[in-house]
Amino acid sequence: MSNISRRSFLQSGAVGAACTVLGAPSALAEAVPASGKPSPIKLGLASYTFRNFTRAQLIGFMQQLGVRDLNCKDAKDHLPMEPAAEAQALADYAAANIKLHAAGVVGFSKDDDEDIRSKVEYAKRAGIGVIVAGDPTPGSLKRIERFVREYDIRIAIHNHGPEDESFPSPFDVLKSVKELDPRIGCCIDVGHAARANANLVDAIHATGARLYNMHVKDLANFQSRESQVDVGDGIIPFPQLFRQLHKAGYQGCVNLEYEIHGDDPLPGVQRSMSYMRGVLAGLSV
């Protein structure tokens, strides 16, 4: 699988339009593609990145990063399940001009009406139209489908790599949902998908209109879950991914889910965001 690393990207002519945007690795301005048009790919953040920090700290970090789109979950006090606490969280995000576009990863391991309804209502209270679902069993999908239709909400099943018995890659998700309501689709986690030997560009093409969310990270070794590095320092082919997303007309967010350096993630998150913005600035899309 071909790749452009941060080092080779910075040395290439493609970065010409991005250099003034990137500057130092921590530069945070939104990149503008070489065409001069606004980027068609929207970068967001998975709140799990700052799982060891409070909601107030998360908001502060997002303001530093210049990121306004959040895939939020019930970690720390980021988006509590309890309605009153959830309402306060929503007020805090609104005051900071942060938009919640997805909830999750939310566990759906129980094939149970009450459990499924509670999680769908959690997202609907927040005005969120996409739930990133973790751990549903193939046998529970027909039950989940009933709630998708009742609430008119999208379920994006998250692939979790070789350790996931049901959904190691996006292709496994597609096999299970192809006969179901089209509002049941995929959240491609590119790191886990790569470890499951999925061709990432092909996966984006195959999911097509059923791609509702994306989690991105970078790996130095597709055989090792522990090889995560800052985005751009690994072998995930981000330029190719962004081109395919643009070609597919993807309307969702590409959410950085940074899972390393949990007690001090901000420097790596800054570098990762700057790299992705630089790639977008250098692409003639």
pLDDT in tens, 242-277: 999 999 999 999 999 999 999 999 999 999 999 999
Which burial class, exposed, middle or buried, applies to 278 when counting CB atoms under 10 A from its CB (0-12, 13-18, 19+)? buried
Q: Work out the number of other CB atoms within 10 angstroms of the CB of residue 34.
A: 17
pLDDT in the model for residue 282? 87
Could you state, in order of their start, the residue ranges of all structural domains in the chain? 41-218+227-282
pLDDT in the model for residue 39? 75
Which of 24-38, 94-108, 159-173 shows the lowest per-residue confidence on average (mean pLDDT)?
A: 24-38
> What does the pLDDT average to over 18-34?
39
Of the CATH numbers 3.20.20.150, 3.40.50.720, 3.90.180.10, 1.10.3720.10, which one belongs to the domain with range 41-218+227-282? Answer: 3.20.20.150
- Are 207 and 174 contacting, i.e. CB atoms less than 8 angstroms apart? yes
pLDDT tens digits for 1-10?
444 444 444 4
> What does the pLDDT average to over 204-211?
97
- Binned at pLDDT 50, 70 and 90, residue 284 comes out as low
- Binned at pLDDT 50, 70 and 90, residue 37 comes out as low
- Are 177 and 157 contacting, i.e. CB atoms less than 8 angstroms apart? yes
User: CA–CA separation, 235 vs 6, rounded Å?
Assistant: 10
Average pLDDT over the chain, rounded to whole? 89
Which of 19-33, 48-62, 178-192 shows the lowest per-residue confidence on average (mean pLDDT)?
A: 19-33
pLDDT in the model for residue 40? 77
Nearest to 268 by CA among 241, 229, 211: 229
> What does the pLDDT average to over 36-40?
68
Among 27-31, 39-43, 116-120, 134-138, name the most confident range.
116-120
Percent of the chain surpassing pLDDT 90:
84
- Binned at pLDDT 50, 70 and 90, residue 223 comes out as very high
pLDDT in the model for residue 8? 46
Percent of the chain surpassing pLDDT 70:
86
- Binned at pLDDT 50, 70 and 90, residue 36 comes out as low
User: CA–CA separation, 4 vs 279, rounded Å?
Assistant: 9
Give strand pairing partners of 72: 103
